Amino acid sequence: PYIECVLVFFMFTSAVNYTLHYKFLRGDSRPYADDELRLFSRIVIIAVTATTAVLYSNGLYTGVLESLRYAAFQVVSVVTSTGFCTADYDAWPPFIHSVFIFLMVAGGCAGSTSGGIKSIRILVLARHIRAGMTSALHPRGVVRVRMGERAVRGDAVALASAFFVLYIAVLVAGALFMAWLGLDFTSAFTSAAAALGNTGPGLGAVGPARSYAAVPQAGKWALSLLMLLGRLELFSVAVLIMPDMWRR
C-alpha cells in the first residue's frame, strides 16, 4: 500500500503543468491556485470518491480503505495516462467503466506528461458555454470568458473548441474502424480512446487483464497511428499535412 501511495503521488504530480512545479521550486507557491489544477483535482477527487463508493457498496473489497486504495490507484493511473493497474477494473460495475472512459478522454493538465483533451480546454469550453447562456439571458451585457483575473481571447476559445471537436471526431472515427474490424462496441471505443489518450489498457477485449495481441493487424496499425496523433497533439499533425504549410 505504501508503494502504491508513492506511485499515486508521482502519477498525479506528473499530470500537473510542469510550469507550476518550476515556479514552486523557485519559491512561488501561488501558481498552485491555478484554475486548471483546481478543476483537475476536483475531477480526480470526485472520480476516486465515486469509484470507492461503488466498490464498497458492491462488496468487492473488504472495507472502505481497501476500496479507496484500489480506486485511487486505478483512477489516477487512467486520468494521467500512466497505464499501470493493480486490479482488473474491467470486472468492476458498469458505472465505473463510464467514469474511466470519461477520464481517458479528459486527461490531465496542459504542459504535463498526460494525454487526453486536457483540463484547460474543458474548463475554457465550460466557461464559454456558461458565458453563452449568460449572454442569452442578458443580450445587452458584455460577457467574457475568464481564467482567473484575465479574459480569454476569442481566438483561444475558438482553438479550444476546434481541438475538442477534432479530438472527438478522430476518436469516433477510430472507434468505428475498430468496430468494422470485428471488435465489440466497448472494446472498439475504449481501444481508440486509450490509444488516442495514450492510456494503455482499455475495457473488454483490451482490458487490463488482457492485451492487444488479439487485435487484427490493421487495428494495430490504426491504434499506433492514434497513439502518435495523441502524443504529438492533433493540431501539430494537422498543420503538418496541410498543403499551405509546404507552400510557404
**Residue 29 amino acid letter:** S
Q: In this structure, what is the dihedral angle of CA atoms 35, 40, 44, 47, given to the nearest 10 degrees?
A: 90
pTM: 0.89
86 φ, ψ (degrees, to nearest 5) = -115, 5
Contact 17, 34 (CB under 8 A): yes
Q: What is the pLDDT along the chain (248 residues), one digit of tens a residue?
A: 789 999 999 999 999 999 988 888 888 777 677 889 999 999 999 999 999 999 999 999 989 999 999 999 999 999 999 999 999 999 999 999 999 999 999 999 998 989 999 999 999 999 888 888 888 887 777 677 777 777 778 888 888 999 999 999 999 999 999 999 999 999 999 999 999 999 999 999 999 999 999 999 999 999 999 999 998 888 777 777 766 656 66
146 φ, ψ (degrees, to nearest 5) = -120, 145
Helix or strand run (H / E) with residue 146: strand 146-147
Residues in Cβ contact with 187 at an 8 Å cutoff, skipping those fewer than 6 apart: 178, 202, 203, 204, 205, 206
Burial of 125-164, coded b for 16+ CB within 10 Å and e otherwise, reads: bebbeebeeeeeeeeeeebebeeeeeebeeeebeebeebb
Residue with cell 483533451: 117
Report residue 104 as a C-alpha cell. Answer: 481517458
The span from the CA of 95 to the CA of 147, in Å, is 32
The helices-and-strands tally (H runs, E runs) of the chain is 11, 2
The closest alpha carbon to 118, from 87, 156, 80, belongs to 80
Long-range CB contacts (< 8 A, 24+ apart) of 136-143? none
The number of C-alpha atoms within 13 Å of 141 and in the hemisphere containing its C-beta is: 10
| DSSP assigned state of 214 | T
Residue 27: CB atoms within 10 A of its CB come to 6
